[in-house]
Amino acid sequence: MPEGPEIRRARDELAQVLEQGKVTKIFFAFDHLKPYQSKLKNNRIIEVNAKGKAMLIRFSNGYTIYSHNQLYGKWIISPDGKIPDVKRQLRLAIHMQQGAAFLYSASDISVLKEHELVNHPYLSKLGLELLSATTTQEMVKQRLLTFHKSRRTLMTLLQDQRVLAGIGNYLCCEILHVSGLHPETRICDLNQQQLELIADNSFQLTRQSYETAGITNLLSRAEKLAKQGIEFESYRFNVYRRKGLSCYQCGDVIVKGKFSGRMGYCCLGCQPL
């Protein structure tokens, strides 16, 4: 499932096509959205934004298309505007003067006015957006500090989108590894220094993954491994999907298991409980 960095990269691609020129045609598969086809046509798209796992496409006439991909949704960009040859259910198509964007398989799509966005059940509950341009490392620290007395484990707390928006399973496993913390460590058991470390790594690793299209390994190490001809999927992570392999840091064998009810990966050499 895509996490913050993947969603933001999809946003960037969408913005390139949608944030220019006018909408020439729009198609909604769901009947209750069809009346918006004529309302949105001939408008400009003033902004494409990603919030948590939702995409928001804001039109010049005050409407916003909200979509959440859940497990199956997928955006496909078509620079020449042609409908892609894919075996998926087309749910939304936005044709521009140049290019088009198609959303497949997603079922959570709505068209909202400004005031409906503010009270939206998903958007209004989102925590601090890690990849927002206005979010700073200090803000992440302050956010985690407000949960310092909580008995929740880092494995569940970091993946709770109401706390920090953007971290899913792979980022969580990687952040915990570089912080040297076991997934079942409770946030209330961290000292100030560990809490700051987890905040800094949450901020930095999420951004690094966004900038590098998914690398959370040490960049110098990833570069070295790539030069040796090792494939991207094999060098991008420290521990994620590396069950049974040795840890780059300490040489211990990486384990896969359920931590606080969630599947994850860790190195017990670097991350003792």
Catalytic residue numbers, as ranges: 2-3, 53, 262
* Least spacing, CB of residue 217 vs Zn ion, in Å: 13
Per CB under 5 A, the list member of 10, 45, 94, 247 interacting with Zn ion is: 247
Indicate the residue among 106 and 173 with the shorter CB distance to Zn ion.
173
Indicate the residue among 106 and 270 with the shorter CB distance to Zn ion.
270
Nearest-CB residue for Zn ion: 247
Q: What does each C-alpha distance from 36 to 33, 62, 105, 148, 184 come to in angstroms?
A: 6, 12, 19, 46, 47
d(C-alpha 24, C-alpha 47), whole Å: 17
Asked if residue 270 binds Zn ion (CB under 5 A), the reply is yes
* Least spacing, CB of residue 178 vs Zn ion, in Å: 10
Asked if residue 213 binds Zn ion (CB under 5 A), the reply is no
Q: Tokens representing 51?
A: 């919030």
Q: Where are the alpha helices (DSSP H) in the chain?
A: 4-18, 35-40, 114-118, 137-145, 154-157, 169-179, 192-211, 219-227, 232-235
* Least spacing, CB of residue 157 vs Zn ion, in Å: 22
* Least spacing, CB of residue 166 vs Zn ion, in Å: 25
Considering only 18-26, 51-59, 106-114, 239-247, which stretch makes contact with Zn ion by CB under 5 A?
A: 239-247
Q: What does each C-alpha distance from 224 to 125, 171, 175, 207, 244 come to in angstroms?
A: 41, 22, 21, 21, 21
Q: How many residues in the shown chain lie near Zn ion by CB under 5 A? A: 7
Q: Backbone dihedral region of 106: left (phi > 0), alpha (psi from -120 to 50 degrees) or beta? A: beta
Indicate the residue among 130 and 239 with the shorter CB distance to Zn ion.
239
The residue to which tokens 């003033």 are assigned = 46
Q: At 256, is the secondary structure helix, strand, or coil?
A: strand
Per CB under 5 A, the list member of 24, 107, 249, 260 interacting with Zn ion is: 249
Which of 46-70 are b and which e, b meaning 16 or more Cβ less than 10 Å from the residue's Cβ?
Answer: eebbbbbbbbbbbbeeebbbbbbbe
Indicate the residue among 108 and 252 with the shorter CB distance to Zn ion.
252
Considering only 62-70, 182-190, 225-233, 242-250, which stretch makes contact with Zn ion by CB under 5 A?
A: 242-250
Indicate the residue among 84 and 251 with the shorter CB distance to Zn ion.
251
The number of beta carbons lying within 10 Å of the beta carbon of residue 145 is 14
| Nearest Cα to Cα of residue 132 among 100, 179, 165 | 165
Asked if residue 250 binds Zn ion (CB under 5 A), the reply is yes
Indicate the residue among 93 and 155 with the shorter CB distance to Zn ion.
155
d(C-alpha 71, C-alpha 2), whole Å: 9
Asked if residue 269 binds Zn ion (CB under 5 A), the reply is yes
Residues 6+ apart with CB under 8 A from 271: 176, 177, 180, 181, 182, 183
Per CB under 5 A, the list member of 18, 164, 266, 267 interacting with Zn ion is: 267
* Least spacing, CB of residue 255 vs Zn ion, in Å: 10
* Least spacing, CB of residue 224 vs Zn ion, in Å: 18
Binding site for Zn ion (CB under 5 A): 247, 249-250, 252, 267, 269-270
